[in-house]
């Protein structure tokens, strides 16, 4: 009896050989079919965000090629199995196939192996293109975000429309130097431009703002977290943060240590999003999980120009309190976004700052956001509004890249991707700017401390 068994090793893991495999994250689970079926909507989304459309186009052009080549590979696999069965000796009847038949089957298997090899190369290339393309596809846009420019939807502490101005050539740094609470010159010697020292009541003011924001968040059910400020670059990418902006300017500080691809975080959003990466979340009956993170944040801000580079308004390193939430469904995430916005409004209102709430237009959404709100405080020294908070609903944009899932009872207890949301509770330097410029009393040369902060500043009423 002649025992002959021939195998073709078809590629069982044709996962885009040129796509870099993450050392900490699995490959993203993109919904290629959704991108293909909604290509026109997503191309429009990219255009409105002023982002390239090439990612959507790459998925659109490769999806059917990928699908068809996979079907062809499956057919070859089935045919191979049928031929290999013929080489297995029959039991009971003692019959066996002839040498000529064996030779013919071997030739067919060799031909199938050659076909499979060529087709696997094509399949891998199509799949690689899908992953490369999907990585550059932005989120869909909320129906009520299709506005030509940021839309003012509310004013906080309106003061009957009064918008006070500081004296010409006077701003928060004039006040800070007068009170001895900020030193930019020493920081420039030590670290370079756009770094700063907070001294005395300046340092206390930062701590008071942090304590106040953390306290407000905790009362709303956010669990405190102190996250790392150094993360893998792939974690930043998964959140939608890229090393360079659309103008090619450096936005993230990259670090290199023993070959590790690391970066300084621009916000605690990144490590908070990564907290439950590659995890299955267990929701309670609310369908929501919430954390508030306190961290130092780092922004290269290579594109900053003009007045925004002066003083504390735009700096390289600062303290930030960040809100982050996970929700089980899209409908729930929409409600959570409104809850975060209400908390932000409450914080700014209690600080006594005049501010406006903006529904952001598509060109302000970046790649990850489905919907976004900003709050801008009036800054009398800048004679303009300045952003102090932002909050975004990213749907499953980040969770597909982070592999954060939950069991959906509405879908047969199957795994589904969570929805992620983020928002600023306190961007300390920006709020210090607004406080110094809003509550400065030129006659007494002192700054009135907002009442909600006084208990964290030795119960003082003024910085003087």
The answer to whether 315 is annotated as binding is: yes
Q: Which of 19, 243, 40, 42 is nearest to 131 (CA)?
A: 19
Locate tokens 């996970």: which residue?
A: 326
Query: In sequence order, which residues have a C-beta less than 8 Å from that of residue 414 and are 6 or more positions away?
Result: 407, 408
Rounded to whole angstroms, what are the CA distances from 209 to 48, 137, 145, 374? 36, 37, 31, 19
The answer to whether 53 is annotated as binding is: no
The answer to whether 317 is annotated as binding is: yes
Locate tokens 């060529």: which residue?
A: 118
The answer to whether 389 is annotated as binding is: yes
The answer to whether 388 is annotated as binding is: yes
Backbone angles phi, psi at 156, to 5 degrees: -105, 135
The answer to whether 354 is annotated as binding is: no
Cβ contact 330:142 at 8 Å: no
The answer to whether 301 is annotated as binding is: yes
- Residue 19: other Cβ atoms inside 10 A: 17
The answer to whether 299 is annotated as binding is: yes
Q: What is the rounded distance in angstroms from the CA atom of residue 65 to the CA atom of residue 56?
A: 15
Rounded to whole angstroms, what are the CA distances from 175 to 84, 164, 181, 209, 426? 85, 16, 9, 19, 21
- Residue 186: other Cβ atoms inside 10 A: 12
The answer to whether 422 is annotated as binding is: yes
Q: What is the rounded distance in angstroms from the CA atom of residue 430 to the CA atom of residue 124?
A: 48
Cβ contact 407:280 at 8 Å: yes
Annotated binding site for L-serine: 267, 299, 322, 422
Annotated binding site: 267, 299-301, 315-318, 322, 387-390, 422
Annotated binding site for ATP: 299-301, 315-318, 387-390
């Amino acid at each position: 009896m002649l025992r002959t068994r021939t195998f073709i090793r078809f590629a069982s893991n044709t996962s885009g050989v040129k796509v870099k495999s993450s050392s900490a994250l699995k490959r993203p689970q993109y919904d290629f079919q959704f991108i293909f079926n909604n290509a026109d909507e997503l191309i429009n989304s990219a255009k409105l965000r002023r982002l390239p459309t090439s990612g959507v186009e790459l998925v659109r052009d490769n999806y059917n090629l990928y699908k068809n080549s996979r079907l062809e590979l499956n057919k070859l696999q089935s045919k191979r199995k049928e031929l290999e069965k013929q080489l297995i000796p029959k039991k009971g009847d003692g019959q066996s196939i002839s040498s000529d038949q064996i030779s013919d089957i071997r030739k067919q298997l060799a031909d199938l192996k050659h076909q499979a090899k060529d087709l696997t190369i094509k399949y891998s290339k199509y799949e690689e293109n899908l992953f490369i393309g999907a990585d550059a596809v932005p989120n869909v846009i909320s129906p009520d975000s299709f506005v030509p420019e940021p839309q003012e939807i509310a004013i906080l502490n309106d003061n009957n429309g009064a918008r006070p101005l500081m004296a010409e050539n006077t701003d928060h740094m004039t006040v800070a130097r007068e009170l001895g609470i900020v030193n930019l010159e020493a920081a420039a010697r030590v670290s370079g431009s756009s770094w700063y020292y907070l001294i005395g009541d300046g340092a206390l003011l930062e701590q008071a703002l942090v304590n106040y924001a953390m306290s407000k968040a905790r009362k709303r059910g956010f669990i405190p977290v102190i996250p790392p400020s150094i993360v893998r670059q792939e974690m930043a990418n998964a959140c939608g943060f890229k090393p360079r902006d659309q103008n090619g300017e450096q936005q993230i500080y990259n670090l290199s240590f023993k070959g590790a691809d690391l970066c300084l975080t621009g916000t605690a959003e990144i490590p908070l999003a990564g907290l439950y990466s590659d995890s299955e979340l267990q929701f309670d009956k609310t369908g929501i999980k919430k954390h508030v993170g306190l961290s130092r944040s780092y922004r290269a801000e290579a594109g900053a120009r003009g007045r925004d580079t002066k003083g504390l308004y735009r700096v390289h390193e600062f303290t930030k309190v960040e809100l982050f939430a996970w929700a089980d469904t899209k409908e729930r995430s929409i409600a959570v976004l409104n809850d975060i916005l209400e908390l932000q409004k409450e914080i700014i209102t209690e600080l006594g700052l005049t501010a406006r709430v903006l529904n952001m237009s598509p060109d302000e959404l970046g790649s990850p956001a489905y919907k976004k709100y900003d709050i801008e405080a009036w800054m009398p020294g800048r004679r303009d509004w300045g952003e102090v908070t932002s909050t975004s609903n990213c749907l499953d944009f980040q969770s597909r890249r982070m592999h954060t899932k939950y069991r959906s009872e509405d879908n047969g207890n199957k795994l589904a991707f969570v929805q992620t949301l983020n928002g600023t509770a306190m961007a300390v330097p920006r709020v210090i700017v607004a406080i110094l410029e809003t509550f400065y009393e030129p006659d007494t040369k002192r700054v009135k401390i907002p009442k909600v902060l006084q208990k964290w500043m030795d119960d003082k009423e003024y910085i003087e």
